[in-house]
Structure 1
């Protein structure tokens, strides 16, 4: 669109009465010169006003010069004039539409990637229901791990079958220079298969510690991929890739690790010392109102073993009820002897 036409279009809000009158007069004559228009009784315009109106009607294409006599003005069909005037506008609109379409197409390509990224983000939490799939996912994560594995394995001793499967996987990790740290319950120190497993892997560079009450089952690979249980007692797992969640799980592990003790079998620590430590933990859980099932689950013992320990503790204290055992233990200062024992959070386990 040329500049004069742009200026004309910007000024085109409406036709003035003078312009309409001039066009109507030329239309009546069909071809007329400026002198006759100026002398026409239909137009009461000054010479300047007439010249301005004729000039604008020419710009808008409503008047043109006669082909044989340029001094004569000839009217043009308004439809034709409008079509000629609108043509560059339509062309400009079509160009704008093309640009809009191009923006939609180009940004649409990015939109597809954005949605794909959103799907990956939604996939940062993945639930695996079957044990075989969990094992396959763990093996894949182990094969891809290059720096570090953090693991919390509550529940006391692990079965020989599980330890055998973990042995080959963990040996391969250590051979690649991957650092491995694992937390167990204190009760794992009484378990012969666990003792043998820890002895072998410790010789290869793995690190093991035990705590009164691990926070839960957890495995983290390279601090960017975590496995947690799908539900209490379930055989599945939840795979977590969301960075802030994985970072939080690592901080929970590090806090527990800082308060844990190096793994050693019960005999090496002294059976009496280990037993007293275990009894103090049970006392704390009893005082918090935990049931036998909750105590056993948190300390990695069977319910039967837990009940035996509770009975022995009550007998030693001369208590006739669990509540009385907690009161007597508190009076004797037995609940204050280990600052690293379970704290106020134990009430959650009573549920």
Structure 2
């Protein structure tokens, strides 16, 4: 005997309820409509049964026999669903077409927006594609600088030509009372031209400090105009005037400056002591799993020189692999932090 759960929520228009589904199933299985028998087996009153028959007939799920209108037969529900959903599908297609039209209208405005943004000076970004444009922009910025220059110059050495070009520019700024602070890698203390340059301008008031690792090349004029390298293997630069970005770069510089040590001649500090200091940094980077090229770049050393240091370190430790070198160095306490020279933040 079929039983129907009569507790249900209000019916959804165009969708048979539970009672109607049970009656449709009963008719489909019995092949004919017997009201009294259906009501008894489904546990329905005659009023409930008549209501369900009317709903199924209105939906098109039950249809009278042509030769005997009193007899009802089930109709293929897929055909009925196709009829019921036609209007809904038509409405969906209309809305999709409207949605596509709206997107097309707004997409037509995209190029106009991009062109306007590319012309906005408020973005404060300018690309200098080559070294000539970079040198010209640096010269102009130094001539207009009135208060301060912050510079981070990674690498163990700077070419004499570059230093010779920068000398009169920096000298002129110092003569005007501009404060110049520059960060170098520790390895710059081994470079003769860099030592001479630092000694010359230090005597005129410039300040120089060094660190084992630096964040990258940076020059900032009057905390308002910043130069950073262009991405890729180019000699171009990106000029930044946007205040928040420039302020962020200045904060990065100040953090590095506060941890750096005054620039000094490696020979005066003792070559062995300085070399051990550098080897300790290389060991930390090795233990961190960095590759030779990355280590060389991080400490401002040529790849060839960095590999020679790495080979010497591994030979000294008796290590056959980078991992073993890191383990042996840790056991011997060689990865401990080195003593920091006091360097107050000016």
**TM bin (shorter chain):** 0.5 to 0.7
Please say if 1:287 is aligned against 2:280: no
Segments of 5+ residues of structure 1 without an aligned counterpart are: 1-114, 341-351
Give 2:129's aligned residue.
Answer: 129
1:292 & 1:118 partners in 2: Cα distance? 40
Q: Deviations over 1:156-194 (max 9, x none)?
A: 110000000010110011010000000000000000000
Q: CA deviation at 1:288?
A: 0.8
Q: Deviations over 1:226-262 (max 9, x none)?
A: 0000114320000000000000000000000000000
Give 1:297's aligned residue.
Answer: 297
Q: CA deviation at 1:121?
A: 3.6
**C-alpha contact (below 8 Å) 1:212/1:281 kept by paired residues:** yes
Give 1:327's aligned residue.
Answer: 327
Q: Deviations over 1:206-235 (max 9, x none)?
A: 000000111100000000000000114320
Give 1:175's aligned residue.
Answer: 175
1:239 & 1:173 partners in 2: Cα distance? 20
* 1:146-185 matches, cutoff 5 A: 146-185=146-185
Please say if 1:143 is aligned against 2:148: no
**C-alpha contact (below 8 Å) 2:130/2:234 kept by paired residues:** no
CA 1:311–1:183 in 2, change beyond 3 Å: closer, same or farther? same
**C-alpha contact (below 8 Å) 1:229/1:238 kept by paired residues:** yes
1:116 & 1:148 partners in 2: Cα distance? 34
CA 1:223–1:311 in 2, change beyond 3 Å: closer, same or farther? same
Q: Deviations over 1:312-345 (max 9, x none)?
A: 10011110111110111111111113277xxxxx
Give 2:14's aligned residue.
Answer: none
* 1:141-290 matches, cutoff 5 A: 141-290=141-290
**C-alpha contact (below 8 Å) 1:121/1:242 kept by paired residues:** no
Indicate the structure (1 or 2) with the bigger Cα radius of gyration: 1
1:232 & 1:283 partners in 2: Cα distance? 28
TM-score (norm 2): 0.63
SS of 1:280 mapped into structure 2: helix
Q: Number of residues paired by the alignment?
A: 227
Q: Which runs of 4+ in 1 moved over 6 A?
A: 115-118
**C-alpha contact (below 8 Å) 1:127/1:236 kept by paired residues:** yes
Between structures 1 and 2, the one with greater helix share: 1
Give 2:29's aligned residue.
Answer: none
1:117 & 1:168 partners in 2: Cα distance? 38
2:158 & 2:329 partners in 1: Cα distance? 32
**C-alpha contact (below 8 Å) 2:122/2:242 kept by paired residues:** no
TM-score (norm 1): 0.62
1:233 & 1:162 partners in 2: Cα distance? 18
SS of 2:231 mapped into structure 1: coil
Root-mean-square deviation over aligned CA pairs: 1.9
